[in-house]
Amino acid sequence: FCGNDPDIIVTAAKMAEDYCDAIDLNLGCPQMIAKRGHYGAFLQDEWDLLEKIVRKCHKELKVPITCKIRVFESVDKTVQYAQMLERAGCQLLTVHGRTREMKGRLTGLADWKVIKAVKDAVRIPVFANGNIQYLSDVKRCMEETGVDGVMTAEGNLHNPALFAGVNPPIWQMCEEYLDFAEKYPCQLSYIRGHVFKILHHGLHLHPDIRDMVGVARSVECLRKAVLLIKERGLAEMDKEDFDSCGGLFGRLPLPYWYCQPYVRPSPEEEEDNRKKRDILTRLAVIEELVNVEGLSKNKVKKRLRNPNKDFTGKKKIKFDICTSDTCNNPRGQKCNHNLCKSCCRRKTSVEVVDCEGHKIHFTTHPELLKRQMADRVMGDIAPCDNRTCDTSEDTDSASLLADNIDTYEHNEGGFSRASQKDKGWWA
């Protein structure tokens, strides 16, 4: 959970406490959305508020309250921060060994020494977070810091099999992930983001596949991109002279087709990498397509975003115009009266006719049946159950019969009982 209002956090936590083993308070998010919302790592200077939140959760919830924090520049202040949360009732503390400012290009390495200082100063269990790229890092971190457990985030994004201690082919992980994505649907942007992470190193070497992933509009489109990089990877495995570890921005620990961590470059390295990326990848592809296909650079860029883009000059499909004299809207392709939906609705309501194309059924509307029923009664028409209507009776009989039309339907020979589901209604 995240937030800055003790009452709201406790209320939300109570909705979940019967379905989980603990409630975790995220005090480590450094993103701009957390700054705008006033939560996450941007509460780490408001100790009174945090103590109140944690204490209230500890007192009123049936499950433990745990916290995740980022460190300060000062080791002593970080230790005091952790001790304050412990006194307030925090039952488990996760320490991310980076400061609030260490994100994006300024991420750098997490400081395990600060984590060790926190572990030595508190009595509750402590988990470490940061610099976990391989399974071997887990063991090394626990040995150096003495923590009770390890949490990892970005390492798992590039290699979901990190805790299994293996580095499977990137396409294998993507195929397995897309199977789960179809079984448990979510927004396509989330799925695309995870595919980008898993294929990260391969997409640098195959920019056309990166563009395919970027413009994918369905899971099936993503599967096609994964299949293409799989075909190329398998083909390059058989090439003896292919430099499989030669990443675009430096040497990779493993061939690019294996899941492996992404080490963020420094700001200076990032600027150099950007220039390489522009020269060796997208710009090179654009120049090649300009020469081969004879298109302008703008059209080539559109083609890269949408491979099915057509520049042959074919005109768009023209739709027939509504036949009403006062309307210029396109007519419905299946309209019985060659009208747009608005004009069709007006025509069918005035003339009391149906339109199958727009699914307008006025002739079966209950109000119309009421009027027809009343007209038949007033016209001395016998119902189908062989009872006769006496026209000498006053019009109250007709009104009464019309009011009960909800249980009848109109047939050729008279009226018969009708179920609710058989009655027509407006389109």
* C-alpha to C-alpha distance for 106 and 85, rounded to whole angstroms: 27
In the sheet that holds 23-27, the strands lie side by side as: 23-27, 65-70, 93-96, 126-129, 149-151
29 is a catalytic site residue:
yes
* C-alpha to C-alpha distance for 127 and 27, rounded to whole angstroms: 14
Instruction: Give the residue from 99, 186, 115 showing the smallest Cα distance to 150.
Output: 115
Given the residues 29, 67, 141, 322, the one annotated as active site: 29
The burial class, CB within 10 Å (0-12 / 13-18 / 19+), for 290 is middle
All residues at 6 or more sequence positions from 24 whose CB lies less than 8 Å from its CB, including other chains: 1, 65, 66, 67, 68, 94
Q: What angle do CA 103, 266, 209 make, to 5 degrees?
A: 85
Residue 181's CB is within 10 A of a number of other CB atoms, namely 19
All residues at 6 or more sequence positions from 268 whose CB lies less than 8 Å from its CB, including other chains: none
Give the amino acid at 24: D
What are the residue numbers of the active site? 29
